[in-house]
Amino acid sequence: MSFGSKRKDVTIWMINSLAFGTVLIGVGSHYGITSFMPHVEEDGFLVRLFDH
């Protein structure tokens, strides 16, 4: 907003970028964990992690 943008434009830009980033990180985390931990069962790695 310090460069002369309108408050509404900045708000829309921030909401869209946060939503896109959240989806991107979520999908990346899901596929990243399964590629680094191929031995994970159907339950998921968190169930196995907290079973101990």
* 4-27 pLDDT per residue, tens: 889 999 999 999 999 999 999 988
| Tally of domains within the chain | 1
Asked if residue 1 belongs to a domain, the reply is no
Predicted confidence at residue 16, as pLDDT, reads 97
Quick check: is 14 in a domain? Answer: yes
Single out the residue of 19, 16, 51 nearest to residue 43, CA to CA: 51
All residues at 6 or more sequence positions from 10 whose CB lies less than 8 Å from its CB, including other chains:
1
49 or 8: which carries more pLDDT confidence? Answer: 8
* Higher-scoring residue by pLDDT: 12, 42: 12
Residue numbers of the domain that contains 24: 7-50
Q: Is residue 33 part of a domain?
A: yes
pLDDT value at residue 52: 63
Flag whether 39 is in a domain.
yes
22 in a structural domain: yes
Q: For residue 29, is pLDDT > 70?
A: yes
- Looking at the chain, the whole-number percentage of residues with pLDDT higher than 90 is 37
In a domain, residue 27? The reply is yes
